[in-house]
Each structure stands twice: as structure tokens, then as C-alpha cells.
Amino acid sequence: MVEIKTDAALDAMREAGRVVGQALAAVREAAAVGVSLRELDEAAREVLQKAGATSPFLGYRPSFAPVPFPAVICTSVNDAVVHGIPTAYRLADGDLVSVDCGARLDGWTGDAAITFTVGTPRPADVALIDATRRALDAGIAAARVGGRMGDISHAIGSVAREAGCGMPADFGGHGIGRQMHEDPHVPNRGRSGRGYPLRHGLVLAIEPMLMAGGNDAYRTDPDGWTLRTTDGSRAAHIEHTVAITDQGPRVLTLP
């Protein structure tokens, strides 16, 4: 069931989203050559704790997962697309890192992701991040009252394909509010003018995941969580929680 949020609920979700934005900013600031993925998780935990927020990631166990998720952020490095578990791995010069984070505050949830390079950036990684950001921006721009879900999906997919990137076929964005994952599903490809109608108060986590090799195939690590490209190419993931309003799209997960 799709829940349409009141204006008061959107304001409350903005506060949860603000915590997410702050946590991601803290992780980005902490990231450097030699820093472990677990240290990045600790940086995010500190932000959540100071804000009085909890993590919707920690302990989350969907049907596909063999174990509950053990951290408050997902850290996906280089050929990992999404859902990477923070480990003792220490960042190396040139690594491409995607970090996904959520926060629950006063009963409402925010969810966002960033991708960045550590140390000396590879030009191809910079281009991949730019394409992913443009895909997200296009999706947000299409999130308007009177439109359809397919408008968002088509906007994202068009940018990704024009950049020569693949997208994992089974994954996309989602509704969000009282829970991290709510209806409706937000595909990262589709036909404009089709799908669920976009109304004031609908809140979506819009999250393009682009794979530089152009292949849509992926594989799952033995940990049951981490998704990787099958061709070893790099991947990027950028996400915002966005409210559809009569005044236009409202991004709720800025710091």
C-alpha cells in the first residue's frame, strides 16, 4: 500500500533526512587512504547517536539475506555496486567508494547515498560519478505532480544508457516514510507516461546505480549482501529521498 504523506510528515522526514545528509558528510570527510571501512561506519554511528536517531540498516534482514545487516552504512568499493558490508579493508589510493546510509528519527526515515574517489581519482571514475549524478538529477526533475513513475524511470535510464552504463535489472528506488522500504518500487528504467501516478505527498528514494562496463549483469558475494559487476567494471550509486509536492520536487536528505 502506498502512503501519501501530510505536509507535517514531510517536515518530519526532512529532519530524518538531514541526519542522513550529515552522516554521509561525516563519512566523506573521514575517508582517506589507510582508513578502514569500519572506521567510516563508526563516523556515521556517531552522527546518528548525537542526533538521537537510529539506523534502519542495522539488523535489517530481507528475505534474500542470510544474516542481518551488521552496520549503519553500506560501503561498496570499486566493482561493488551496492550493499557492501563495512569490513577491516583499508582504503587505497584511487578507490571508488559508494556509501549508503539511512536514519530513523521520531518515527520517520531518510535514505541517501554518495559515491566518491579516495586519493588520486581515475578520469573514468570521475565520468562515472558524473553520469550517475546526472541520472539522479534527471530523475528528481521528473518527480512532479501529474506525472507518472515511468517519467522518473525513463529519465534515469536515458542518462545511464547515453553514458554507456549498465544498471542492475532487479534493483531500483522505493517508497519511504515510516519504513525504509515502502511501496511503490521505482525502476531505474521504463517508459514515460506509464506507471504509478505522482501526487503531492508521495515520497521516494530515487537511486540510480550505474555500472561502467555497460553490462546489466551482477553477482552476489558469499556474504549474501554485496552485489558486484560480473565483468569487474566499476560502479557508482547516488541517492536522495525526494518528496513530490505541488511546489516541485523537495530533496529531504541534504545535510
Residue 211 has pLDDT above 90, yes or no: yes
Distance set, CA 36 to CA 30, 83, 88, 110, 236 (Å): 10, 17, 5, 25, 19
* Tens-digit pLDDT profile for residues 38-51: 999 999 999 999 99
Name the pLDDT band for 169 (thresholds 50, 70, 90). confident
For residue 186, pLDDT over 90 is answered with yes
Distance CA 53, CA 11 (A): 16
User: Is pTM, for the whole model, over 0.95?
Assistant: yes
Cell 530533496 maps to which residue?
A: 251
18 bridge partner residues: none
pLDDT band at 170 (very low <50, low <70, confident <90, very high): confident
Q: What is the mean pLDDT of residues 64-73?
A: 95
Mean pLDDT value of segment 219-240: 97
pLDDT, tens only, 141-153: 999 999 999 999 9
Q: How confident is the model at residue 69 (pLDDT cuts 50, 70, 90)?
A: very high
CA distance 5 to 174: 15
SS (H, E, C) the chain: CCCCCCHHHHHHHHHHHHHHHHHHHHHHHHCCCCCEHHHHHHHHHHHHHHHCCECCCCCCCCCCCCCCCCCCEEEEECCEEECCCCCCCECCCCCEEEEEEEEEECCEEEEEEEEEECCCCCHHHHHHHHHHHHHHHHHHHCCCCCCEHHHHHHHHHHHHHHCCCECCCCCCEEECCCCCCEEEEECCCCCCCCCCECCCCCEEEECCEEECCCCCCEEECCCCCCEEECCCCCEEECEEEEECCCCCCEECCCC
Lay out the sheet containing 96-105: strands in order across. 73-77, 96-105, 108-117
Q: pLDDT value at position 87?
A: 98
Does the pLDDT of residue 64 top 90, yes or no?
no
* Block residue for cell numbers 567510516: 40
Name the percent of the chain lying above pLDDT 90: 98
pLDDT in tens, 115-136: 999 999 999 999 999 999 999 9
Question: Residue 138: pLDDT band by 50, 70, 90 thresholds?
Answer: very high
